[in-house]
Amino acid sequence: MFNHLRLHIWAHLKFYLRNRLVLGLMVVATAFWSMGFVTFLMWDSAGGRFERLKYLSTQMHELAWFYGALLALIAMSAHLRDRSTRLVFTRATRPEVWVVSVFASALLVALAAHALTAVATWALSLAWDIPYQVGFLWLALDAMVESVVVIALLAALAVGIHPVIAVTVMFLFSDNITYYFYSLLSGASQAGALGGWATAGKWIARAAYTVMPMFDPFQAETGGVHASLRVTGGDWAYLAATAAYAALVASFCFFFATFTLRRRTL
């Protein structure tokens, strides 16, 4: 099984390098990111350099987050659409192994990008004579954990629906938007508007928010790290809890993807 897993991961990595759609989208995303960073190159003060470094680190981690999500989505959907999985599953490879290989290959690229960002942040802090804050390391680890959630979620959604619809579902039904609708309907229910529809919608939105995967479940509790880059013992505990939550979400997405894949016409 581990030999098959290693071979599939290697095959996916080669697929990423050879797929023009993947490379094209990565180039476009990197170009847009580069244009947004140009304005920060004009800051010359020490405070400006620190803000520039913090901005650069955050944006590079978001770019790595996007890379991992893109690879998982395209790898899963492309192989299922062209029915190449028929050959894979008829050569003594279980669907579970193949699904794990998609998750793992996209995650390896994302982790490598996040690690490269962490090293670049450290190197720039030395070059710009800025004291390195441990918060940069915390943010790198937090971004890696978030990549686990988005990769697992998009890969699982791509098994059953078109990739464009999968992205739409992920963003339109995110935890923040679902909570917004819950707050809106809760206020309408208390005001007596819409009658019973508001009450029913409130509980539906509440149930959806409860089960909806979150990219950063402790964002409110760890917001200080993003602002000041100062890390306390409690922040490390929240990071560990976020990692445990990401593992739970990835496990659920894995079982959902394999369950759907086994019932799909290949």
With cut-offs at 50, 70 and 90, classify the pLDDT of residue 35: low
Average pLDDT over residues 45-74: 80
Phi, psi of 34 (to 5 degrees): -65, -40
In-domain check, residue 195: no
Maximum distance among all Cα pairs of the chain, rounded to whole angstroms: 63
In-domain check, residue 226: yes
Overall number of domains in the chain = 1
With cut-offs at 50, 70 and 90, classify the pLDDT of residue 187: low
- Residue type (1 letter), 147: S
pTM over 0.85: no
In-domain check, residue 87: yes
Cβ–Cβ < 8 Å for 140, 112: no
- C-beta atoms surrounding 8 within 10 Å: 20
Instruction: Give the residue, 198 or 79, on which the prediction is more confident.
Output: 79
In-domain check, residue 230: yes
Average pLDDT over residues 56-85: 81
pLDDT at res. 242: 92
In-domain check, residue 119: yes
Is residue 111 pLDDT above 90, yes or no?
A: yes
Q: For residue 44, give its domain range.
A: 2-174+212-262
If 0-12 CB within 10 Å is exposed, 13-18 middle and 19+ buried, where does residue 216 land? buried
In-domain check, residue 182: no
